[in-house]
Amino acid sequence: MHYYKFNVSDWQSAVRHLTPEEEGVYIRLINHYYDSEKPIPLDTQPVIRKLMLGSHSVTVQSILEEFFVKTERGYEKEKCNELIKEYKKTANKNRKNGALGGRPSKSKASKETQSVTSGMPDGNQTKATGNPNQEPLTTNQEPGTKEINGDKSPSPKGPKFDPAITDDKRINLVAWLEWCEDRKQRRKPISKATQIKQFKLLHVYDYQTQQEIIDASINSGWTGLFAPKGKGGQPVIPSNQEAPNQIGFLDNDPDQFGFLGGDVIEGELFNG
């Protein structure tokens, strides 16, 4: 047996009265007990020689008499015997499982552990549980999938809407991306419906005015876009169309709408 848990609190409580020399001797004797899995022999000289305690033989005898019980088998300690017995029981069970081809199923898995509690004296020990050789359990299920009757099927959720993606040539894309990023930073994402409404507002103005509208909202911490006061709209015309003339109408198209001073007019110039 090459491992045991060391309960510091219990140990300090039991050896508080010992000198550092006596405590060191005690630790060596306890370690030898677990390593050999046998009581300390009545003939202590071989143990003293093995543990290099020749100059501490008097201390060895004193520790044995105080913390161990002298029997026909040697100097025994009940706590050490219990933990060695538990260790051997678990080791035998693991060997049998190995001979049968591996660990048993979860329903039959051992609730014992090879990691035993401290053999240090006079403390309440907590018995560890669980199979020491058992690997962490995992569902092996990939994100974004759900399992139905043992089969994995894709999540029904579609691609997430990204308001920054648009091919609308009437929108100042640089300004719009700044607006999307600002809303994202403030944790106020733009929905599809909001994008449609805000595009409808921006379509009325040219690129420069769109930039001014968005800058005003960002600087003011607003979550919406608002038409500038006292400034008329100038429609944004994609590059593959004709530019508007000075009063806001497309040349050679008397039936379309135009903008002048913020008022929509049709058919002829409004002189007020």
Domain-located, residue 189 = yes
**Closest by CA position to 204, among listed 225, 219, 180, 179:** 225
- Domain containing 121 equals 1-132
260 token code pair: 């002048």
- Summarize the confidence of residues 105-124 as an average pLDDT: 53
**What are the Cα distances from residue 260, in Å, to 199, 252, 265?**
20, 18, 8
* 59 within 8 A of 22, measured Cβ to Cβ: yes
Question: Are 188 and 86 part of one and the same domain?
Answer: no
Report the pLDDT value the prediction gives residue 121, as an integer from 0 to 100: 52
The reply to whether 192 and 128 lie within a common domain is: no
Distance CA 106, CA 244 (A): 78
Work out how many domains the chain is built from and give that number: 2
pLDDT tens digit sequence for 202-240:
998 999 898 999 998 899 888 889 888 776 665 555 555
Residue 134 or residue 11, greater confidence:
11
pLDDT-derived band at 243, boundaries 50, 70, 90? very low
The answer to whether the beta carbons of residues 112 and 129 sit under 8 Å apart is yes
Record the pTM: 0.37
Residues 98, 5 within the same domain: yes
Residue where a domain stops, chosen among 82, 114, 132: 132
Q: Is 144 inside a domain boundary?
A: no
Mean pLDDT of 97-113: 62
73 found inside a domain = yes
d(CA 110, CA 124) in angstroms, rounded, equals 23
End-to-end CA distance of the chain: 104
Residue 246 within a domain: no
Same domain, 12 and 119: yes
Residue 191 DSSP class: P
Element (H, E) at 265: strand 263-265
